[in-house]
Amino acid sequence: MANSDLNGVDKTPPPCPVKVGDRVRAKLGNGNWAEGVVDDIGSHPLTGRMFRIKNETRDIEHPHPYFHECQGHWDDVVILESADPPASTSTADAIREACSELADFLIEKNAAYGDSALDPVRIMSSADPIEQIKVRMDDKLSRMVRGKAAGEDAVKDFVGYWVMLQVAERKEGE
């Protein structure tokens, strides 16, 4: 093997844990630490690994930014901030999808009921829309606790009423 010692032990260095653009804190060959952004990744003739960071610590010895070459153990590198933006997670996508479905559900239901939650006809009750929504939320909670949802999705309805309550409170504040 090209990267093995006399005993056949593989000496291939592990892959570099950093990427160009990462903000890192790295231990230098002299034992000091430097902090900065990775500018270049290369190969050192002895260790097989090297990256260069632009020093942003500007300590007393080195008041101006310059580049440090870091070789050695990757254990001596701390990635402070990745250059890659955080990936969209499946959980975040699922939350967006569920909220979008709830919005479609509420808009459809509100149209079917003639905006009765926020603009009631007031035949049987003179309570304001916010109080009426709270009564409907109490009814949904009662059905959920007693297990008598009667074929409806009581939780979805409750969350829908919570959204409608937010809308009503915002309208009242205008």
Residues 100 and 40 in one domain: no
Over the stretch 87-96, which tens digit does the pLDDT of each residue have?
666 887 888 8
Note whether 111 and 143 are same-domain residues. yes
Structural domain ending residue among the three candidates 85, 104, 127: 85
Residues 76 and 94 in one domain: no
Shared domain for 71 and 125, answered yes or no, is no
Is 126 in the same domain as 159?
A: yes
- What DSSP character marks residue 123? S
Q: Where does a domain end: 26, 60, 85?
A: 85
CB burial of residue 170 (10 Å; 0-12, 13-18, 19+): exposed
Domain match, 36 and 67 both = yes
Express each pLDDT in 53-74 by its tens digit: 766 554 444 444 445 555 555 5
- For the full predicted model, state whether its pTM sits above 0.85: no
Quote the tokens at residue 81.
């901030």
More confident of the two residues 18 and 7: 18
Structural domain containing residue 49: 1-85
* C-beta of residue 13 within 8 angstroms of C-beta of residue 45: no
